[in-house]
Amino acid sequence: VALAFERLQAVGLVEARPGSGHFIAAHAPTLAPASVELGPAPSEDAALGFVRSLDDASITLPVGCGFLPPSWFAEAIPLSILSRVRSGGALSLPAPRQGDPILRELLVERLRARGVPAACRHILVTKGASQAFDLIARTLLSPGDTVLVDDPGYFVLFTRLKAAGVRLLPVPKCADGSALDVLEDLARTQRPRMFFTQTLLHNPTGISASPANCHGILQFAEKYDFLVAEDHSHSDLASPHLISMAQIDELRRVLYIGSYTKVLSPGTRIGFIAAADACITALLEAKILAVLSGSALEEAVLREVLSSGKYRKYLERLRDRLARYRALATTALKRTGLDVVGEGGLFLWCRLPDGMDALRLSVDARRVRILLANGSMFSCRGSGNEYLRFNAAYASDPLLIEFLSERLRRDRIPKIDV
Amino acid sequence: VALAFERLQAVGLVEARPGSGHFIAAHAPTLAPASVELGPAPSEDAALGFVRSLDDASITLPVGCGFLPPSWFAEAIPLSILSRVRSGGALSLPAPRQGDPILRELLVERLRARGVPAACRHILVTKGASQAFDLIARTLLSPGDTVLVDDPGYFVLFTRLKAAGVRLLPVPKCADGSALDVLEDLARTQRPRMFFTQTLLHNPTGISASPANCHGILQFAEKYDFLVAEDHSHSDLASPHLISMAQIDELRRVLYIGSYTKVLSPGTRIGFIAAADACITALLEAKILAVLSGSALEEAVLREVLSSGKYRKYLERLRDRLARYRALATTALKRTGLDVVGEGGLFLWCRLPDGMDALRLSVDARRVRILLANGSMFSCRGSGNEYLRFNAAYASDPLLIEFLSERLRRDRIPKIDV
């Protein structure tokens, strides 16, 4: 009974008067205030609109989203880890501003195993890759700078960079990585400050760049003096034997951005930047101004997972499962008439038959509670509306396959024999 | 044995070759690269320097810090809460961008119990109060704006606001709140865009503003058309019957900033902003660009704590304990010769005898592993070097009291009878 009263009191429905007892709270919950125009109007940015739609509870099949389904993570972090984290005191102390030093050591060991030379002081723990992008934009870019980005590429990054007042120039993605001819031309004529690129399991195409392509990008970075922000947020889903630019460059011009959100726990937000000392100092100051410090709780969870000795086997199982789902999805999507032009990691990148419009298809899909990711979102110049990105874990779902089969049968331009 | 090999493999010391066995890893951990000057030079900002010094492991008595000691939080979040959070799936799904809706409902109920009318849509969950300040600066302020701040006030906020390119003007703090005469004069002549202020248990003085003072500030806010960011990060340590500006204003011009970092768990980073719809939309977009989403894990922990019905009693015990420590510390500090000019919540705000220099005292204290917070940090114009802020939970420690007694005996200007 006492606890019941406590709960009622916690939500403000009763109040305790010491020495008298519990009473119905005097204040009736008041009405919310009328909205006053105090801030800027909501943006009509497609990326922000898409991200916000991920929270729409009416969606039953989020095949356009960038996270694996919750059920895949059911056993990723056992209760014993949370128990160790709690008894270790992680809830009671603020996280060190740069990140838990033992976690940073573990991240360093994993980077070294991938051939990236780094020390503990080169690591800054962040809230996922997203905060890494934000801090880089705050610290290393100035309004008016020219910045190169993958095309297609990660749309929230584009919106973030535009908010920093920089000029975005697209570098097309090819089968073996970035289009080096375009890259050199842009580097020579436009003098970019930085190139944001994803070399392994690129979002949205799934492509991994060849060592030669990585080498080519770095040669231009040196020749034309730009920095490279290399997004490794999906790299734990790639074979550990694939090469990266950070490995070749040894963190001289490359900032390595890692994340555990995709592979371990979408509900925790742990990523990091590995970079040269001078960058880390500035990024750390920006982090202090942005959030003061990270979450000791989340950092301790990742520390316990990485030091448990079970993470490598866990990743192997996750990669195997994802490969089976990609294979299933590839077969199913091809049968609908889509052309699967890229695949790897989380994603399948598909081309619609001529004459079909991905944006229109996405709008119609929402009516049957399917969230699609239309290709034009992934281009900083708004091209690519003949493409769709599919999350492999959801893309063989019969609900999706039926919807696509029917629409592609109906809407594709009939082939005319000549 | 298998697990031991897994751990060695996890840290990169051995490698597994399928079908052959485990081998010492071929790569010797390589050296870290030479530092290359890529970013801006480290700032010499006093606030950033102080925050970074909090991570200095050589400090044995962090009496200048703004957090309660870890031992105070040993039982704040029992393992049963973490177990419920895990089985509820919080690790497996990204947090909704605006924050967990059930958590937002609980925050709304608590706000209403304090007389602040708000609905779920008026709440944006943030990484502590720090991210709230950051998002407000990104969203509602522009370079060149004039912004009023408490003097003394929270130093990391000053540095954040300066980074936004705004002009800071100090509003002195008096015994009953803000100096209204100065405030009106500045509001009339300088046309500020916003006033950042802490009405309850003000950091660093511990002062709580009177209802009349709150009312006066709001009258000027309306007359001279500025917004008020009201920092409530310490309010759960105050009597629930104290008044706030958000309560009088009903979130028309006031943005209410709350936090659970100080009172529940320094190792998790949960705060929130309660504000009018138009503000929340813009702040949410800025949050998406900054971190994509919050931590579902941390949000679920707070949700379970607030809905458990035990939080109110927990707070009462915490307030009682802190009051006892404040009383002990007040007595002990007065005996050293310090003048305790303000006290409340976490802090005691003390004045040194004439002629003594708080910055010099802080530098000397570091040599004996005591971290002091000198008063000039808390002023945006660098005044206040005759003050020190003490954390009540640490300030009766004999190590500190001995250090202060000796220094005050030695350094104070002897009184000369005339």
Q: Render each residue's pLDDT in chain A as its tens digit; 418 residues.
A: 666 666 666 555 566 665 666 666 554 444 444 444 455 556 678 899 999 999 999 999 999 999 999 999 999 999 999 999 999 999 999 999 999 999 999 999 999 999 999 999 999 999 999 999 999 999 999 999 999 999 999 999 999 999 999 999 999 999 999 999 999 999 999 999 999 999 999 999 999 999 999 999 999 999 999 999 999 999 999 988 888 999 999 999 999 999 999 999 999 999 999 999 989 999 999 999 999 999 999 999 999 999 998 999 999 999 999 999 999 999 999 999 999 999 999 999 999 999 999 999 999 999 999 999 999 999 999 899 999 999 999 999 999 999 999 999 998 766 666 5
Q: What is the DSSP string of B97-151?
A: TT--HHHHHHHHHHHHHTT----GGGEEEESHHHHHHHHHHHHH--TT-EEEEEE
Residues in chain B closer than 8 A to A311 (CB atoms): 10
Residues in chain B: 418
CA angle B326–B328–B331, rounded 5-degree value:
105
| Nearest residue in chain B measured CA to CA from A286 | B160
pLDDT at residue A36 in the model: 40
In the three-class reduction of DSSP (H, G, I as helix; E, B as strand; rest coil), residue A197 is classed as strand
Given A38, A292, A301, which is nearest B227 (Cβ)? Answer: A38
At B8, is the pLDDT very low, low, confident or very high (cuts 50, 70, 90)? low
d(CA B377, CA B140): 25
pLDDT given for residue A398 in this prediction:
97
What is the distance in angstroms between the Cα of A23 and the nearest Cα belonging to chain B? 13
CA–CA separation, B205 and B347 (whole Å): 7
**Mutating which of A35, A248, A310 best tests the B interface, going by the most B Cβ atoms within 10 A?**
A35
Residue position matching structure tokens 């940015």: A45
| Helix H or strand E segment including B363 | helix B358-367
Closest-CA distance of chain B to residue A82, Å: 7
Mean of the per-residue pLDDT values of chain B: 91
Which of B38, B114, B120, B317 is most worth mutating to test chain A (most A CB atoms within 10 A of its CB)? B38
What confidence tens digit (pLDDT) does each residue in B358-410 have?
A: 999 999 999 999 999 999 999 999 899 999 999 999 999 999 999 999 999 99
* Beta pairing, strands B339-344 & B14-17: unpaired
Question: How far apart, in Å, are the Cα atoms of A165 and each of A143, A161, B288, B353?
Answer: 4, 7, 17, 50
Chain B residues lying within 8 Å of A288, measured CB to CB: 48, 51-52, 156
| DSSP letter (8 states) at residue A174 | E
* Residue A160 touches chain B, beta carbons under 8 Å: yes
Nearest to B37 by CA among A276, A238, A373, A345: A276
Q: Establish if A288 touches chain B: CB-CB under 8 angstroms.
A: yes
Q: What is the 3-state secondary structure (H, E, C) of A256-304?
A: EEEECCCCCCCCCCCEEEECCHHHHHHHHHHHHHHHCCCCHHHHHHHHH
CA distance B339 to B83: 48
In this complex, is the C-beta atom of A26 within 8 Å of any C-beta atom belonging to chain B?
no
A126: alpha, beta or left? (left if phi > 0; alpha if psi -120 to 50):
beta
Among candidates A48, A72, A112 on the partner chain, residue whose Cβ is nearest the Cβ of B29: A112
Contacts of B265 in chain A (CB under 8 A): 91-92, 297
Instruction: Say whether A250 and B106 touch across the interface (CB within 8 A).
Output: no
Euclidean distance between CA atoms B360 and B365, whole angstroms: 9
Residue of A nearest to B119 (CA): A32
Q: How far apart are CA A90 and CA A110, in angstroms?
A: 23
User: What's the pLDDT band for B183 if we cut at 50, 70, 90?
Assistant: very high
Q: How many CB atoms lie within 10 A of CB B240?
A: 15
The residues pairing with A271 across neighbouring beta strands, listed in sequence order, are A126, A259
From the list B38, B276, B285, the residue facing A38 with the nearest CB is B276
Residues forming a β-bridge with B149: B170, B196
Whether residues A278 and B112 touch (CB distance < 8 A) is answered with no
Answer whether A109 sits within 8 Å of B300, measured CB to CB. Answer: no
Asked if B7's CB is within 8 angstroms of A54's CB, the reply is no
Instruction: Name every chain B residue with its beta carbon within 8 A of the beta carbon of A10.
Output: 106, 109-110, 306-309, 311-312
Put simply, the answer to whether A281 touches B139 (Cβ < 8 Å) is no
Q: How confident is the model at residue B412 (pLDDT cuts 50, 70, 90)?
A: confident
Chain B CB contacts of A113 under 8 Å are 12, 25, 27
Distance from the A311 Cα atom to the nearest Cα atom in chain B, whole angstroms: 8
State how far Cα A245 lies from the chain centre: 19
| d(CA B135, nearest CA chain A) in Å | 8
Q: Establish how many alpha carbons lie within 13 A of residue B134's alpha carbon, considering only the half-sphere containing its beta carbon.
A: 29
* C-alpha count within 13 angstroms, C-beta hemisphere, residue A180: 16
A99 contact partners, CB below 8 Å, separation of at least 6:
A123, A124, A125, A272, A294, A299
Which residues of chain B have a CB within 8 Å of the CB of A277? 35
Q: Give the relative orientation of helices A2-10 and B101-113 as an angle to the nearest 10 degrees.
A: 90
Question: Which among A52, A277, A301 has CB closest to B35?
Answer: A277
State the CB neighbour count (10 A cutoff) for residue A223.
11
CA distance B213 to chain A (A): 23
* Beta carbons of A257 and A229 less than 8 angstroms apart: yes
> Which pLDDT band holds residue B17 (cuts at 50, 70, 90)?
low
Does B314 touch chain A if contact means CB atoms closer than 8 Å? no
Instruction: Flag if B76 and A97 touch (Cβ within 8 Å).
Output: no
Best of B131, B261, B295 to substitute, by most chain A Cβ atoms within 10 angstroms, is B295
Residues 367-406 of B with CB under 8 A from A: none
Cα(B128)–Cα(A293) distance, integer angstroms: 9
